[in-house]
């Protein structure tokens, strides 16, 4: 088709895009019927762009308030299907089928309502055309048309649900995700819904999730190119970017319209460049390196030196931003909450389900509580929603069926000892994560809090179905494990955490003096050191020590030795970092430190500070070795060292 015909086609489309008189529209439809009959190759061979544009406008007209316009549109869409069927020598009308579904989905995502009776009536008219067309009676064409209209109705049902949940961003994305999942074998349809999800995420400021949608789209196209022999790695090349991708984007079927899609290596590069921009917007600068590892070999193969220069320039800027945010500590990649729903009469299939919600930057527990209470009160009615404030296990049978209950609990990413060795930066601790933890204090008397020798703690570790960040901002919890800590184990755990947090600041490069001083002050100052000293008095004092197992006592003592050593290292580092105006402040910290050590030495009946100040690091390493020998694992923030005393439920 020459350029004149393209211009004519664009003119026809412009008529359909605007408001026109019925008379003019009748002439436009007549012209389009002639165009379909004269230029079938332009619509049904090569790029599907023209066919897609035509389907979009016809479908809009099928929903017109004007009965004459709807009638003309139905006839034109039927002609388009039949012409495609004849063009393939009656093997099917895959192109029109795909483009109709894609554009129905597009119209939905563009918030153009198709769920009314007008559009459904148009579908019935098209079905009647197929059933009454004598020339097609002995073919599969009427069955194929019926199948298409049935699929459209399925999408419309999902649309009705989307309309119902349009103010619920999590549910809206979940519904679109279910449609994308149902089209896992069909590249174009899955791509359409993933991109629709990305638009919602961008609108709501959920940029990490939008970036993941774009990455999944790029992986989908990479898998298509693998099937075409163009890109041998396929979606497996994206494994290091996200562990979610390979399982989800490798399901393309060769018989689902893949022959009608015309993507190239250029398409993949464009999509990857879009991913890089989205990741930068999400402040996930570290991932850009992995994305460019997929792009740069293509640039090198093509000898596109300017684009290589641009790519390396972009990478340089990204890694400079990594350095900046690591020094400032101002990058916040999200806050996580466990959200559980109770109430069969309100939540239906959601009753009893637990999710991990990823909220933007620093979202407080009260903020998400208020958001969810307001959201579900709008759905179920004011006064029908109750928020469960406690983090303990909920007994559904004890809840009043007249109310919808929502339990929200703050949680953090959870890592075992081995994972912590590899996840050293804040980014690594907020990327590709599936396990989360929250803790619930309790006592045997039933109260949440009690004296230190009565204080137990329940640690719950949750595992989600997919890793964060994902194409959705909430992910279903599929497994949980519970550990119950006895009072002495709680003391070990609390002191381990204090020690690990301070050690992380001591070893940080470059050091963060402000955070170091805050943590150091919170560890040694007289006003706040009641925690460490109180634990020592309760569990290590001569009068109490015989109540506890020897191994638990030794572990707590070893944690205190580690704590004293790392506080000393932190003081030494602070002395190197401060200027003269903070000398008096530093001397105050030193005096508080010595006072705390003296009190602990009295309780533990041993010398905690070495006589030679330079031997602090050596003692620290030696103590670490002893602790490892006792507990069987390296020290860290996890409970591996005391798991022998913890009960797992």
Token representation of residue 617: 């690091």
Supply the mean pLDDT for the chain: 87
The CATH number assigned to the domain with range 168-331 reads 1.25.40.410
CA 458: distance to chain centroid? Answer: 27
Q: Which of 106, 99, 256 has the alpha carbon at shortest distance from 187?
A: 256
User: Residue 75 contacts by C-beta under 8 Å, 6 or more apart in sequence?
Assistant: 29, 33, 129
Residue 271 has pLDDT above 90, yes or no: yes
Residue-wise pLDDT for 75-105, tens only, equals 999 999 999 999 988 888 888 988 898 888 7
Peptide bond into 299 cis (omega under 30): no
Q: CA 153, CA 147: separation in Å to the nearest integer? A: 10
Q: Which residues of 45-70 are buried (b: 16+ CB within 10 A; e: fewer)?
A: eeebebbbbbbbbbbbbbbbeeeebb
With beta carbons less than 8 A apart as the criterion, state whether 491 and 639 touch. no
With beta carbons less than 8 A apart as the criterion, state whether 105 and 178 touch. no
Higher-confidence position of 503 and 252? 503
Q: CA 111, CA 421: separation in Å to the nearest integer? A: 48
Confidence (pLDDT) at 622: 42
User: Residue 50 contacts by C-beta under 8 Å, 6 or more apart in sequence?
Assistant: 9, 42, 43
With beta carbons less than 8 A apart as the criterion, state whether 56 and 106 touch. yes
Token representation of residue 305: 């030196």
Peptide bond into 469 cis (omega under 30): yes
Mean pLDDT over 217-226 rounds to 94
CA Rg value for the chain = 32
Token representation of residue 23: 């008379």
Q: Which residues of 312-344 are buried (b: 16+ CB within 10 A; e: fewer)?
A: eebbeebeebbeebbeeeebebbbbbbbbbbbe
Residue-wise pLDDT for 456-481, tens only, equals 999 999 999 999 999 999 999 999 99
Residue-wise pLDDT for 583-638, tens only, equals 999 999 999 999 899 999 999 988 887 655 444 444 444 444 434 433 333 333 44
pLDDT over 90 for what percent of the chain? 57
Please name the fold of domain 489-648.
Methane Monooxygenase Hydroxylase; Chain G, domain 1 (1.20.58)
**What does the domain layout of the chain look like in residue ranges?**
1-164, 168-331, 335-485, 489-648
Q: CA 290, CA 272: separation in Å to the nearest integer? A: 10
Q: CA 354, CA 463: separation in Å to the nearest integer? A: 11
Mean pLDDT over 340-366 rounds to 93
Confidence (pLDDT) at 617: 44
CA distances (Å), 472 to each of 51, 158, 337, 380, in order?
31, 17, 14, 24
Token representation of residue 615: 């031997």
Q: CA 278, CA 214: separation in Å to the nearest integer? A: 8
């Amino acid at each position: 088709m020459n350029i004149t015909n393209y211009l004519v086609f664009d003119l026809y489309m412009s008529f359909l895009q605007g408001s026109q008189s019925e008379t003019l529209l009748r002439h436009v439809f007549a012209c389009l019927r002639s165009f379909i009959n004269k230029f079938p190759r332009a619509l049904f061979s090569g790029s599907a762009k023209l066919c897609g544009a035509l389907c979009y406008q016809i479908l809009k007209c099928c929903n017109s308030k004007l009965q004459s316009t709807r009638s003309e549109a139905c006839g034109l869409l039927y002609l388009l299907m039949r012409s495609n069927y004849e063009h393939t020598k009656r093997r099917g009308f895959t192109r029109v089928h795909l483009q109709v579904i894609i554009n129905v989905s597009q119209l939905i995502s563009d918030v153009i309502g198709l769920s009314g009776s007008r559009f459904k009536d148009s579908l019935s008219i098209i079905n009647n055309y197929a059933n009454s067309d004598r020339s097609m009676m002995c073919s599969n064409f009427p069955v194929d048309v019926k199948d298409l209209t049935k699929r459209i109705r399925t999408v419309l049902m999902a649309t009705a649900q989307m309309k119902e949940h349009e103010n619920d961003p999590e549910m809206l994305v979940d519904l679109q995700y279910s449609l994308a999942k149902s089209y896992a074998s069909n590249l174009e349809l899955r791509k359409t819904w993933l991109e629709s999800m990305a638009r919602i995420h961008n609108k709501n400021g959920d940029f990490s999730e939008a970036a993941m949608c774009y990455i999944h789209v790029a992986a989908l196209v990479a898998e298509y190119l693998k099937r075409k022999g163009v890109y041998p790695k396929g979606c497996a090349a994206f494994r290091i970017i996200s562990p979610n991708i390979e399982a989800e984007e490798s399901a393309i079927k060769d018989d689902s319209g893949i022959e009608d899609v015309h993507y190239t290596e250029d398409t993949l590069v464009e999509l990857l460049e879009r991913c890089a921009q989205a990741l930068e917007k999400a402040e996930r600068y570290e991932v850009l390196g992995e994305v460019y590892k997929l792009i740069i070999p293509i640039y090198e193969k093509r000898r596109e030196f300017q684009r290589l220069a641009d790519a390396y320039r972009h990478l340089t800027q990204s890694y400079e931003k990594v350095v900046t945010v690591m020094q400032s500590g101002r990058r916040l990649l999200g806050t996580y909450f466990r959200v559980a729903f109770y109430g069969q009469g309100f939540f239906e299939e959601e009753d009893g389900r637990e999710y991990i919600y990823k909220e933007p930057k620093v979202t407080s527990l009260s903020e998400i509580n208020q958001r969810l209470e307001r959201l579900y009160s709008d759905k179920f009615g004011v006064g029908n929603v109750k928020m469960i404030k406690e983090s303990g296990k909920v007994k559904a049978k004890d809840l009043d069926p007249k109310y919808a209950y929502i339990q929200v609990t703050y949680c953090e990413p959870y890592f075992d000892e081995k994972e912590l060795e590899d996840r050293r930066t804040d980014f690594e601790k907020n990327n590709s994560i599936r396990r989360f933890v929250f803790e619930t204090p309790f006592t045997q008397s039933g109260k949440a809090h009690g004296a230190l020798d009565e204080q137990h703690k329940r640690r719950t570790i949750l595992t989600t179905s997919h890793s964060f960040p994902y194409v959705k901002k909430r992910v279903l919890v599929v497994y949980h494990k519970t550990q119950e800590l006895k009072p002495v184990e709680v003391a070990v755990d609390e002191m381990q955490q204090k020690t690990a947090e301070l050690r992380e600041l001591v070893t940080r490069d470059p050091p963060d003096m402000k955070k170091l001083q805050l943590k150091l002050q919170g560890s040694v100052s007289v006003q706040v050191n009641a925690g460490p000293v109180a634990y020592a008095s309760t569990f290590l004092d001569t009068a109490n020590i015989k109540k506890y197992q020897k191994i638990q006592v030794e572990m707590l003592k070893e944690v205190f030795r580690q704590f004293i050593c790392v506080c000393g290292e932190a003081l030494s580092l602070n002395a190197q970092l401060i200027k003269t105006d903070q000398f008096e402040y530093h001397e105050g910290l030193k005096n508080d430190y010595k006072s705390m050590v003296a009190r602990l030495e009295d309780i533990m009946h041993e010398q905690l500070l070495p006589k030679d100040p330079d031997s602090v690091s050596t003692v620290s390493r030696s103590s670490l070795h002893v602790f490892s020998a006792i507990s069987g694992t390296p020290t860290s923030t996890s409970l591996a060292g005391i798991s022998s005393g913890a009960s797992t439920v």
